């Protein structure tokens, strides 16, 4: 690979290695990530159906941080005792965090009634606070509702992550006051640089995180040869006419970044944690800092957030 490996390790704070599209190749993807300097990967569950897979992945891999949560897209399919199952999972796996949870008003997200989404999010945030674990929040076009909920609920001392942050620069200030961290994902590389700079320059440097959100969100970079491709992914080598992902972030961010002259090759191809270095490089140039300085800051931020009692980071220090 063309990219130089810097000395500072990386931390992928949000990915989905348990996803059916990549779960079979996960062992080799974890190896590739480790080789590329990604020391930790927080694997986020999305529904009751995948929590056990996430738990097992964490048991077999010391670099995996397991996260359990009910994503808003799946909120209406929850079982009667979903919350007690979630509590049980979080308590029996002390190194786990809460996620992916949130609010989604994309076309896909609107299929689930907003009141259900808010209710399910509130209960999971309460659980995160009670168990003193960080929580990863997905928020698409619902920042005002999220603001209302956080104002009503009070503080979250263990921290919250606004993953793949797609809000305005003004909302950065609002959520920073609530102690939020802001995570830059592969999707965010699709936003025009001028606009992205306006948003990400507002993020306090001690609240900035990086993530791949794989297998979605293949980063858009100038040099596609710098990317890692998932073995056997047919979209990896072909130029795909338009996005074949049903992810709401992609739908939103792609439409806004159309015609910026980059990308196209491998569009719709699967993403993996080893691509975090390409995201680091993109954010470093956006914020006009060196990769080394940025890597150092984001690793420190992620380590602070993920060093809760019971965490694998605490165990191995
Ligand atoms: Zn996600």
CA distance 173 to 93: 34
Find out whether 62 and 97 touch, Cβ atoms under 8 Å.
no
> With a threshold of 0.85, does the pTM exceed it?
yes
Neighbours of 309 (CB within 10 A): 11
Cα(283) to ligand 1 centroid in Å equals 19
Cα(16) to ligand 1 centroid in Å equals 7
pLDDT confidence bin for 237, thresholds 50/70/90? low
CATH homologous superfamily for the domain 10-315: Metal-dependent hydrolases (3.20.20.140)
Cα(303) to ligand 1 centroid in Å equals 19
Neighbours of 264 (CB within 10 A): 11
pLDDT confidence bin for 244, thresholds 50/70/90? very low
Cα(59) to ligand 1 centroid in Å equals 21
Cα(226) to ligand 1 centroid in Å equals 23
Q: Examine the pLDDT at 259 and tell me if it is beyond 50.
A: no
pLDDT at 119: 97
Cα(100) to ligand 1 centroid in Å equals 6
CA dihedral sign of residues 96, 102, 108, 111: positive
Cα(14) to ligand 1 centroid in Å equals 6
Cα(22) to ligand 1 centroid in Å equals 14
**pLDDT tens per residue, range 114-150:** 999 999 999 999 999 999 999 999 999 999 999 999 9
Percent of the chain with pLDDT over 70: 88
Identify the H or E element spanning 146.
helix 143-153
pLDDT at 252: 40
Question: In the predicted model, what is the mean pLDDT of the chain?
Answer: 89
Q: Examine the pLDDT at 256 and tell me if it is beyond 70.
A: no
CA distance 271 to 213: 8
Structure-model confidence comparison of residues 220 and 58, the more confident one: 58
3-class SS of residue 162: strand
Cα(227) to ligand 1 centroid in Å equals 20
CA distance 286 to 288: 6
Cα(2) to ligand 1 centroid in Å equals 27
Question: For tokens 């794989």, what's the residue?
Answer: 214
Let me know the angle formed at the C-alpha of 189 by 183 and 190, rounded to the nearest 5 degrees: 125
pLDDT at 105: 94
Question: For tokens 């073995």, what's the residue?
Answer: 231
- Parse the chain into domains and list their residue ranges: 10-315
Cα(211) to ligand 1 centroid in Å equals 9
**pLDDT tens per residue, range 52-67:** 999 999 999 999 999 9
């Amino acid at each position: 690979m063309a990219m130089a490996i810097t000395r500072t390790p990386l931390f992928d704070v949000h990915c989905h290695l348990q996803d059916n599209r990549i779960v079979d190749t996960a062992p080799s993807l974890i190896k590739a990530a480790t080789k590329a300097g990604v020391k930790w990967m927080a694997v986020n569950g999305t529904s009751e159906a995948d929590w056990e897979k996430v738990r097992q992945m964490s048991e077999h891999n010391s670099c995996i941080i397991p996260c359990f949560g009910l994503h808003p897209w799946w909120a209406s399919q929850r079982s009667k005792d979903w919350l007690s199952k979630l509590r049980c999972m979080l308590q029996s796996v002390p190194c786990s965090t809460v996620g992916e949870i949130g609010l989604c008003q994309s076309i896909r997200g609107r299929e689930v009634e907003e009141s259900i989404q808010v209710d399910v999010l509130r209960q999971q945030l309460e659980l995160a606070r009670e168990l003193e674990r960080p929580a990863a929040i997905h928020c698409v076009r619902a920042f005002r509702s999220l603001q209302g909920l956080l104002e009503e609920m009070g503080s979250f001392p263990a921290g919250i992550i606004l993953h793949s942050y797609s809000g305005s620069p003004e909302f950065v200030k609002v959520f920073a006051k609530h102690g939020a961290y802001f995570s830059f994902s592969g999707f965010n590389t699709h936003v025009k640089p001028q606009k992205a700079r306006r948003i990400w320059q507002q993020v306090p440097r001690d609240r900035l995180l990086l993530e791949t959100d794989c297998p979605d969100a293949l980063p858009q970079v100038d040099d596609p040869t710098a990317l890692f491709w998932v073995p056997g992914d047919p979209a990896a080598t072909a130029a795909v006419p338009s996005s074949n992902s049903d992810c709401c972030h992609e739908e939103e961010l792609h439409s806004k970044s159309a015609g910026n002259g980059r990308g196209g090759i491998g569009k719709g191809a699967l993403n993996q944690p080893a691509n975090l270095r390409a995201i680091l490089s993109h954010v470093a140039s956006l914020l006009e800092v060196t990769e080394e300085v940025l890597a150092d800051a984001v690793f420190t931020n992620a380590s602070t957030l993920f060093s809760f009692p019971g965490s694998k980071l605490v165990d191995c220090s």
